[in-house]
Amino acid sequence: MSLNPPIRHWSGQRVWIVGASSGIGAALARALLVRGARVAASARSADRLATLGATLALPLDVRDADALAAAAGEVRASLGGLDLVIYCAGTYAAQRATAFDLRAALAHDDVNYRGALHVLAAALPLLLAQGSGHVSLVSSVAGWRGLPQALAYGPTKAALINLAETLYLDLSDRGIGVSVVNPGFVDTPLTAQNRFAMPALLTPDEAAAAMIRGWERGRFDIHFPRRFTLALRLLRYLPDRAYFAAVRRLTGM
């Protein structure tokens, strides 16, 4: 059973992707443009945005709430409204408690979580006024439970999952869909720094296709590749002692 109104067609859909300059966000912008959507694309790199051929390019930094508010105004003026806003911006650097870096941890919070709040502050008034639309937050399976090397990254993704769940409870009866995207490993500039084997690694195009299928089916939790994420879901529900032992055995950490 669908938890959200399925998006049954893309032609003419007004989509704002925040974090569209590379990786999943760029692949998603290209895929939706091919399907006929009208795409507003935002990221820090104006040069990279220019290569997408988006309907509207809006360079900005997600840490700048005023810039996001202004961009939302441009989306409304240029596209006439908003059907789907996707928060895809993110940063990642491996970190463990034995080498705790406060500055890096706070930088993850600024981009991965607070940036999403800035987007919500900009987009929610428009969606609520319309009484329609959809908010999608790109989190990660790293937010499901604690993992080694994810001290800075994992908590911000867990926060996005909780945020999406709360948004769903608040907005679903107002005609606004909410989803959270929890990818496994995707070959992006962020994951390129990993020095360990990444099982079931997907391309950004494959990730974008999985996200689109999820929205078309009205899913709330869009996770992929399912051959990998379903196994992680089982780990998620283990008792703490068994979970910690399993993670240590699987990762060697």
Q: Examine the residue annotation and report whether 153 is marked as an active-site residue of this protein.
A: yes
- Please pick, among 92, 153, 168, 243, the residue that the annotation labels catalytic: 153
pLDDT for 29 equals 97
What's the pLDDT tens digit per position in 65-102?
999 999 999 999 999 999 999 999 999 999 999 999 99
To which residue do tokens 């441009």 refer? 74
Q: Which two tokens stand for residue 154?
A: 């994992």
According to DSSP, residue 2 is labeled -
Which stretches of the chain score pLDDT less than 70?
185-186, 188-201
CA distance linking residue 141 with residue 146, whole number of Å: 10
Q: Which residues pair with 58 in a beta bridge?
A: 42
CA distances from 20 to 58, 89, 116, 196 (A): 10, 7, 14, 26
Task: Sort residue 19 into left (φ over 0), alpha (ψ -120 to 50) or beta.
Answer: left
Closest C-alpha among 184, 180, 19 to residue 90: 19
CATH class given for the domain over 14-251 = alpha beta
Q: Nearest 5 degrees, angle CA 88-CA 206-CA 59? A: 30
If you search the block for the tokens 């859909």, which residue do you land on? 13
What confidence tens digit (pLDDT) does each residue in 32-74 have? Answer: 999 999 999 999 999 999 999 999 999 999 999 999 999 999 9
